[in-house]
Amino acid sequence: MSTRFTGRSAVVTGGASGIGAAIAELLSQEGATVTVLDLVAPDAASTAHRWQQCDVSDTESVERAVAAAAEEAGGIDIVVNNAGIGAQGDVTANSDEEWMRAWNINVVGMARVARAALPSLRRSDAASITNTASIASTAGLPQRVLYSATKGAVLSMTQAMAADHVREGIRVNCVAPGTADTPWIGRLLSQAEDPAAERAALEARQPHGRLVSAEEVARAVAYLADPQNRSSVGVCLAVDGGMDALRLRPQ
Ligand code: NAD
């Protein structure tokens, strides 16, 4: 069966868990050859994916993994820069080392993967890079200073890269999930005194009364990466139940 990504090769960073795993799954279901670049291996259930062990905070690791992915799949058409880590607290909460680590993974990590993949993307007739930004890119979230700084940078990096590469036929966009139901959020909720009550309160704060699913974010990524979509360029596509458009803010 031919589907929209048949014959396309995709790399998905952070594809072993949560949003990245859903993206890898959907692109694969829709015909792409998907290579997950992650610190850890995807679930055995995600057998459709190849995996290259990769730490996006390390240039050598990224260059090796991207080269291997391109060689094994015969090129790269789609990059999904999704790996990221969280950080909590006000401006006093994080040490210089924590700032540099989050910046290195969340921002430089995406630039590294894009840089390594560009020669392959230039050979594709429908290339795209989709970065995972966040509602934190624009919202002014309380107690998320470091995380927001990195995600704001992802948005501006996306727009600047979109300008640089549009004439080469490489479209660069980002998605901005609201609070998405992934192992990441599970880890945060498990630290609460009453995780079930905390989850219920979190859901109640969403405009549509529930968390965003990883699959919904994956569908937005697939839309932006679709080879038929030649005109979405420099877009930041919110998948947040209306949180941003309605000017609501998670507390
Ligand atoms: P997750 O923790 O479930 O998955 C993150 C994946 O990234 C893991 O597989 C992890 O191994 C991998 N990873 C972490 N550091 C890495 C590194 N240095 N090199 C390679 N891989 C690395 O998280 P998630 O909730 O699926 O988040 C994925 C992305 O979505 C992140 O960029 C996050 O900032 C963004 N996001 C998440 C939410 C949310 O509510 N979950 C909301 C907005 C944006």
- Bridge-based pairing of strands 33-38 and 127-132 is unpaired
Q: Quick check: CB of 139 below 6 Å from ligand 1?
A: no
Ligand 1 centre to CA of 15 (Å) is: 8
Q: Whose CA is nearest to atom 32 of ligand 1?
A: 84
Q: What is the average pLDDT value for the chain, to the nearest integer?
A: 96
In a domain, 19, yes or no: yes
Q: Whose CA is nearest to atom 31 of ligand 1?
A: 84
In a domain, 35, yes or no: yes
pLDDT at residue 48 in the model = 74
pLDDT at residue 126 in the model = 97
223 is catalytic: no
What digits encode the pLDDT tens for the residues 18-65?
999 999 999 999 999 999 999 999 987 776 789 999 999 999 999 999
Contact yes or no for 194/99 (Cβ under 8 A): no
pTM: 0.97
In a domain, 21, yes or no: yes
- Structural domain of residue 34, as residue ranges? 9-177+212-237
What digits encode the pLDDT tens for the residues 134-183?
999 999 899 999 999 999 999 999 999 999 999 999 999 999 999 999 99
From 147, 165, 222, 235, active-site residue: 147
Question: How far apart (Å, rounded) are the C-alpha atoms in residues 162 and 164?
Answer: 6
**How many domains would you assign to the chain?**
1
- The CATH number linked to 97 is 3.40.50.720
Select from 11, 35, 37, 38 the residue to mutate for testing ligand 1; criterion: most ligand atoms less than 8 Å from CB.
38
Q: Quick check: CB of 183 below 6 Å from ligand 1?
A: yes
What digits encode the pLDDT tens for the residues 186-217?
999 999 999 999 999 999 999 999 999 999 99
pLDDT at residue 2 in the model = 64
Q: Quick check: CB of 105 below 6 Å from ligand 1?
A: yes
Confidence of residue 247 (pLDDT cuts 50, 70, 90): confident
Question: How far apart (Å, rounded) are the C-alpha atoms in residues 197 and 69?
Answer: 43
In a domain, 129, yes or no: yes
Question: How far apart (Å, rounded) are the C-alpha atoms in residues 241 and 236?
Answer: 15
In a domain, 150, yes or no: yes
In a domain, 185, yes or no: no
Question: How far apart (Å, rounded) are the C-alpha atoms in residues 210 and 17?
Answer: 20
In a domain, 204, yes or no: no
- Token digits of residue 164: 């640089």
